[in-house]
Structure 1
């Protein structure tokens, strides 16, 4: 497969602080890649450099075989960033039409309105849209040039359930036609469902790279959850053998452990006040949290 994005030993410093630390990454044509990381991890900076919006302090970036700042490259990419600002005085259809003139081979206006679910809002002022509708307008603008590579930064924030479903159906269809999708999201269930590759960045470094299944299998932890009696404290549970971390929701607690058999034996032996015990494998969100903790 052809590589469409290549980062080689890329770093980015801001006033003495290293936001991105020696990242090397290759993304192939037709991939759907979820770029994950906690706030401040460096993923948004990485996307900005790949788009040519920022220059790396060191290292090289190639996008579609060229420099991200080349006009010919920009004509073949689309980006839906977190902040969508409507143009004062322009209606939805007029805004999309304006952006169409920036590209050599734009998609038809009616198709963009249909894809983004904005047919009924065509004549509405962009500034009068709801938060979710503005996100959908941002999606339409990202698709104007029929991009080969599409960047989606927290794309479904503020969308309702039906809008979110339409959005992901459209993204899946684009991926099925060979488009390359790079997305960042805090909704890890979405990343698990849509991505064929997950890249995790933490503190500016690439800490994991693989399929969702490989990422979930990378941690040896399992989750033992139960309802804890009022006498049980976090300190007591962390002292149990094999407990890596705890997570409380009311009196329901999750214990992350590499040896749940040993953990259950300790709970029984110490006669701890624990009821409704369940054991489950970690999902993508739990695996992500474990990688970030490590």
Structure 2
């Protein structure tokens, strides 16, 4: 496998009417990386994947996949994709559908290996239209890996899978990356991005807001979370809690208080200054989901 970038976007823009779906996107993906693509609905994730698959052309800028156009890379059998859209042939067995995908691929893998790696060997003789939603997802994954692809694109890949299937799926994807393949996945399960991804890309209104490890993204958000319980919270105390310094978010539920602070030390110091005694006090960094929300909300506020 070569050492050039798996994917290169250079100042890419793409609009649909008055909507700028991708706005000046510049990024590189390298072989062997597992990269999470995050963003709220309308952030440009699907358009970015479409451009990588040659399903659309940028209005300006360039998209290169292993140094060639996306369509050339796909024709050469270097790209596999698992997308949300598109149905599966129903009147065939899982094995027959996977065999067809292998037969059509320029660099096919053995059917048995594909079935085993996707965890669908036990349902290989079942008709596709008799599968559960999670099983259909694993079949889509099998079709995406029917050949020896160097880049694998996944759009919400574990939707409908139970916890065990999700864990097995990501173990397989880690094996793919360890073999030198680039893996790019879009997901709403931010805990998966936190646990799996080597890099996290945060898109918002078509722009790249953040690019780094999950730890770097969480650190960039700046805030920390503080949690504690109080014996009693009346309206007056709730109002004083809302006036704590450096507060960026506050949630009061019964006796429990959860807040975010840009300076947790100063906030906790002021909390004790209110003359209350917090029980079960915890101070920790933001999780990736909280950091993601903080970054995108800050961008929304900046562009209003």
Q: Normalising by structure 1, what TM-score?
A: 0.93
Q: Does 1:29 align with 2:31?
A: yes
CA shift for structure 1 position 236: 4.9
Q: Over aligned residue pairs, what C-alpha RMSD do you find?
A: 2.0
Q: In the alignment, which residue of structure 1 is the partner of 2:274? A: 270
Comparing 118-127 with 282-291, greater Cα deviation is found at 282-291
Answer yes or no: is the 8 Å Cα contact 1:9–1:24 preserved in 2.
yes
Change (3 A) 1:234 1:182: farther
Structure 2 runs not aligned, ≥5 long: 299-304
Answer yes or no: is the 8 Å Cα contact 1:68–1:74 preserved in 2.
no
Q: In the alignment, which residue of structure 1 is the partner of 2:204? A: 202
Change (3 A) 1:74 1:37: farther
Structure 1 runs not aligned, ≥5 long: none
Answer yes or no: is the 8 Å Cα contact 1:84–1:138 preserved in 2.
no
Deviations 1:108-166 (A, max 9, x none): 11111111111111111111100000000000000011210000111111111221121
Q: In the alignment, which residue of structure 2 is the partner of 1:38? A: 40
Answer yes or no: is the 8 Å Cα contact 1:11–1:58 preserved in 2.
yes
Q: In the alignment, which residue of structure 2 is the partner of 1:192? A: 194
Change (3 A) 1:249 1:111: farther
Q: Distance in 1 between matches of 2:126 and 2:99?
A: 14
Q: Does 1:261 align with 2:257?
A: no
Q: 2:234 aligns with which of 228, 231, 235?
A: 231
Q: In the alignment, which residue of structure 2 is the partner of 1:146? A: 148
Query: Any idea what SS the aligned residue of 2:122 has?
Result: coil
Answer yes or no: is the 8 Å Cα contact 1:96–1:141 preserved in 2.
yes
Q: In the alignment, which residue of structure 2 is the partner of 1:88? A: 90
Q: 2:287 aligns with which of 270, 283, 290?
A: 283
Q: Distance in 2 between matches of 1:195 and 1:61?
A: 22
Comparing 196-205 with 97-106, greater Cα deviation is found at 97-106
Answer yes or no: is the 8 Å Cα contact 2:227–2:281 preserved in 1.
yes
Q: In the alignment, which residue of structure 2 is the partner of 1:110? A: 112
Query: Any idea what SS the aligned residue of 1:70 has?
Result: helix
Q: Does 1:55 align with 2:42?
A: no
Change (3 A) 1:55 1:255: same
Q: Does 1:245 align with 2:249?
A: yes
Which one has a larger percent helix, Structure 1 or Structure 2? 2
Comparing 71-80 with 22-31, greater Cα deviation is found at 71-80
Structure 1's consecutive aligned runs of 4 or more residues displaced over 4 angstroms after TM superposition are: 71-74, 232-236, 247-251
CA shift for structure 1 position 276: 2.7
Q: 1:161 aligns with which of 148, 160, 163?
A: 163
Q: Normalising by structure 2, what TM-score?
A: 0.90
Q: In the alignment, which residue of structure 2 is the partner of 1:182? A: 184
Q: Distance in 2 between matches of 1:71 and 1:63?
A: 6
Answer yes or no: is the 8 Å Cα contact 1:66–1:73 preserved in 2.
no
Q: In the alignment, which residue of structure 2 is the partner of 1:212? A: 214
Aligned residues: 294
Q: Distance in 2 between matches of 1:64 and 1:247?
A: 47
Answer yes or no: is the 8 Å Cα contact 2:73–2:79 preserved in 1.
no
